[in-house]
Amino acid sequence: MTEGRQTKDRQTDNSFVSECLYSDSLSAGIYVTASVLLEYLFCPRFIYFMNCLGIDQNEDKRFKVLKGREIHEGKERVNIDYLRKRIGCIDKEIGVYMESEKYHIRGEVDEVLTLLDGTMAPLDYKYAEYRETVFRTQRYQSVFYGLLIRENYGKEVKRGYICYTRSRNLLKEVQITDEDFVELQSMIKEIIDITQRCYYPKGTRFKAQCIDCCYRNICI
Ligand code: SF4
């Protein structure tokens, strides 16, 4: 078991990895992080306001608080060896930084698990309670980390795990399909497109989010 191992140089040529949906000439040198993906999932216009107009979010607004909980505080470590055993984990690496030049993504995965069936899976800690469902934002963060693992280790990734530390370390499994990877690529493509072409994207479908959004005064 190797902890904190850096894997930037472990990219492999996978036959099962689908072709990238976006052109390298457009997106060369651009990397999307899980944090940016989270902003996009909250509302694509966040990418426009931040990356095209250079307007940062107000620090004390709700989204920043949510993001902080999801991305930063959730990194607190807990001993869940017994849970890993239950899901057939035979090896783990902790705090693994990875990049994928092909998919234009990078980030640090809390844990990279090797499972009994030969597949691998990300494990992500959330400093949050489990609220009857795995939210879309959390689910796609798992897919994001799954794609990083698939690219860097050359292993299949069919599931991810989320540990809700405020629900007594409840461990939830997320099924990850090839369609999820394709959908993630579409999201990354749109994030890069908005950033480079500075077009004004559609706002979120979930209008309840607009009520306390930090951009509501300038969002048309
Ligand atoms: S007000 Fe609504 S549509 Fe506009 S940026 Fe905020 S969440 Fe998105």
Query: Domain range spanning residue 76?
Result: 24-210
Q: Is residue 3 part of a domain?
A: no
Which residue(s) pair with 174 in the sheet?
Answer: 160
Q: Which residue CA neighbors atom 3 of ligand 1 most closely?
A: 203
Closest CA to 121 of 93, 101, 97, 100: 93
Which residue(s) pair with 115 in the sheet?
Answer: 89
Q: Is residue 12 part of a domain?
A: no
Q: Is residue 217 part of a domain?
A: no
Q: Is residue 176 part of a domain?
A: yes
Report the range of poorest mean pLDDT among 6-10, 25-29, 106-110, 157-161: 6-10
Q: Specify the pLDDT at position 193.
A: 93
Taking the C-alpha atoms of residue 70 and residue 137, their distance in angstroms, rounded to an integer, is 9
Going edge to edge, which strands form the sheet with 159-164?
Answer: 89-100, 105-115, 120-126, 159-164, 170-175
Angle at 80 between CA 76 and CA 82, to 5 degrees: 180
Atom of ligand 1 at shortest range from CA of 209: 7
Task: Identify the CATH number of the domain in which residue 86 sits.
Answer: 3.90.320
Q: Which residue CA neighbors atom 7 of ligand 1 most closely?
A: 210
Q: C-alpha dihedral over 18, 22, 25, 27, to 10 degrees? A: -110
Q: Is residue 127 part of a domain?
A: yes
210 lines ligand 1 (CB under 6 A): yes
Q: C-alpha dihedral over 139, 141, 147, 153, to 10 degrees? A: -110
Q: What is the pLDDT of residues 88-99, one digit of tens each?
A: 999 999 999 999
Per-residue pLDDT band for 59 (boundaries 50, 70, 90) equals low
Q: Is residue 2 part of a domain?
A: no
Determine the distance separating the centroid of ligand 1 and the alpha carbon of 50, expressed in angstroms: 12
Q: Is residue 101 part of a domain?
A: yes
> Is 60 exceeded by the pLDDT of residue 64?
no
Q: Which residue CA neighbors atom 2 of ligand 1 most closely?
A: 210
Determine the distance separating the centroid of ligand 1 and the alpha carbon of 214, expressed in angstroms: 8
pTM of the model: 0.81
For residue 110, what is the enclosing H or E element? strand 105-115
57 lines ligand 1 (CB under 6 A): no
CB–CB of 106/152 below 8 Å?
no
215 lines ligand 1 (CB under 6 A): yes
Amino acid sitting at position 86: R
DSSP 57: P
Q: What is the pLDDT of residues 110-159, one digit of tens each?
A: 999 999 999 999 999 988 899 989 999 999 999 999 999 999 999 999 99
Q: Is residue 220 part of a domain?
A: no
Q: Higher model confidence: residue 8 or residue 100?
A: 100
50 lines ligand 1 (CB under 6 A): no
Helix axes 136-153, 34-42, angle to 10 degrees: 150
Q: Specify the pLDDT at position 63.
A: 56
DSSP, collapsed to helix, strand or coil, labels residue 180 as: helix
Total of domains in the chain: 1
Determine the distance separating the centroid of ligand 1 and the alpha carbon of 159, expressed in angstroms: 31
